[in-house]
Amino acid sequence: MSQLVPPHGSPELKPLLLDPAAAREETQRAAKLKKVPMTSRETGDLLMMGIGAFTPLEGFMGAEDWKSTCDTLSLASRKGAFWPIPITLSATEALAAAVALGEEVALWDSETNEFMGTMKVTEKYKIDKDRECKEVFKTKDPNHPGVQKVMEQGPVNLAGPVRVVSESFFPKEFAGIYQRPAEARKLFEERGWSTVAALQLRNPMHNSHAYLAWIAIEVCDGVYIHQLLGKLKPGDIPADVRVRAIDALVNKYFRRDRVIQGGYPMEMRYAGPREALLHAVFRQNYGCSHLIVGRDHAGVGNYYGPFDAQKIFGEVPAGALAIQPLSMDWTFYCYECGSMASMKTCPHESKAVIDDNGNYKGGARLLLSGTLLRKLMSEGKPVPAEFSKPEVIAVLKEYYDHLEEKVEVKLHNAATGGAR
């Protein structure tokens, strides 16, 4: 009997991906169905349902689930089961009008022009986009990348159960990293792990990430370094580069029997606290008992406080999640301590001063962040040795040296030691 936490909202995983023979039949049958294009975000969500990461969902949400998820973080269709972010499929008014209730449609990735699956349309409804943005992102600012995505959606949502036929390019392009929940659970069980801490990553691992992972290993059987492989915003480091950088660090600085790497196909929403809860839901499906929640988890810009993602877990009803947050304070390198430290452990409060050549000039705390690392690298400035391991910097330097068009990286409060 497995010692891992159970899947979320179900005694077993509910993958919606068809086996190869059934997928071939579905593909042939879909040739006669109306095509419904999906955005990259919607495709990522479909893939998460396909591999069982979004257990217990069986398809794109209807109006009542959309409303309940926005307002109460729960699924109306599943007796109030916890769910923090709407998983929906949008369409133009013309397409929605052309599709009848009860009709099956073919789902296509609009960017890759690949057939991904089918859906039986059980509902068509319009939503209040402002309301969704206010509840999920806590802002209606059109500059927020997640808000932009919602506002660009079609005006009508289509809902219904799905059948998934493809995992797109992820198994091939990210062979050895891309994992389904059942595969991760099998690896954990083979190692005899019962407690597993997930480390969410969309940036290469700098020393603060490594420090958090090492702490997690001290209190759990192992750490699952779980990388986002889906689409990012401009200026973020591509997944393939990040994978190489993390490999370089893990292979040299971690005990191999205490760490497993994996990747998942979802796209970032940058929804801060709400997205941290979604990260917890699907990490539970992957078999993780804990989620490392550090500074500005899943945040962007100055939209969220650096520890809002930790605070929101206090609002989750008792028993709604089996996975638990492993809340970590701000970590940094302290020149006075001569080591990595955190706000909870280090008594030296002065901020370290580094000149334009990367040389230490005084002070104690060198605050580390993925945003600051990207800014230094994109501008060709030296990175202090205390910031990240040389093997990581070498991978990133190669990427930035060959980058033809660079995006300006702007620092925000959570990346520079601003408001707590």
Active site residues: 202-203
Q: How far apart are CA 131 and CA 66, in angstroms?
A: 11
In whole angstroms, how far apart are CA 250 and each of 49, 111, 177, 214, 261?
Answer: 29, 33, 13, 11, 9
DSSP state of 315: G
Name which of 293, 282, 213 is nearest 253 in CA terms.
213
In whole angstroms, how far apart are CA 58 and each of 102, 182, 308, 325?
Answer: 16, 17, 30, 26
The C-alpha angle with vertex 215 and arms to 214 and 220, in degrees rounded to 5, equals 95
Name which of 42, 55, 31 is nearest 269 in CA terms.
42
Q: Torsion-angle region of residue 197: left (phi > 0), alpha (psi -120 to 50) or beta? A: beta
The C-alpha angle with vertex 271 and arms to 40 and 95, in degrees rounded to 5, equals 35
Q: How far apart are CA 397 and CA 184, in angstroms?
A: 31
Q: Torsion-angle region of residue 339: left (phi > 0), alpha (psi -120 to 50) or beta? A: beta
Q: What residues contact 212, with CB distance under 8 A and at least 6 apart?
A: 199, 292, 294, 328, 331
Q: How far apart are CA 359 and CA 417, in angstroms?
A: 20
Q: What residues contact 143, with CB distance under 8 A and at least 6 apart?
A: 301
H or E element in which residue 390 lies: helix 390-401
